[in-house]
Amino acid sequence: MSEDVNYINLPDKFVGKGEVKGFEFTKVKSNDVGCIYRVDAGDVSYYEVFKNKYTPVCIDFKNRVYSETEMKQVYPKAKHFGVWAWTTFKLDKANKYLQA
C-alpha cells in the first residue's frame, strides 16, 4: 500500500443491502491479507472470508471522477466467491482461507 493514499476499511459491523439485505455482518478478524466476517442471516450464521481489494472513492458520480488519494475496501459480490472470497460454517476453516 502506498503511503500517500488513504485506505478506508469496511466497518466492523453493518447490515447488508441488495442480495444480502437485512443480514448482519460483524468483523471477526482482519490482517494484511483480508478479513473474516460473521454473517447472521436470521436462521443461520456463517463466515465470509475475503482478500483485501480496494477501489478508488468516487468523488463525482455524475462525471465519474475518482479520487487518486482515497481508496475504499470492497466487499465481495456473489460472483467473487470461490475466486477471492469464500464462505464456511467453521471459524477454523475461515482462518485457513485467510492465511492462504
Do residues 45 and 38 lie in contact, with contact meaning Cβ atoms separated by under 8 Å? yes
Query: C-alpha cell of 35?
Result: 478479513
* pTM: predicted TM-score of the whole model, two decimal places: 0.86
In which band, very low, low, confident or very high, does the pLDDT at 2 lie, cut at 50, 70 and 90? low
- The 10s digit of each residue's pLDDT in 9-35 is 999 999 998 888 999 999 999 999 999
Do residues 50 and 98 lie in contact, with contact meaning Cβ atoms separated by under 8 Å? no
Do residues 32 and 75 lie in contact, with contact meaning Cβ atoms separated by under 8 Å? no
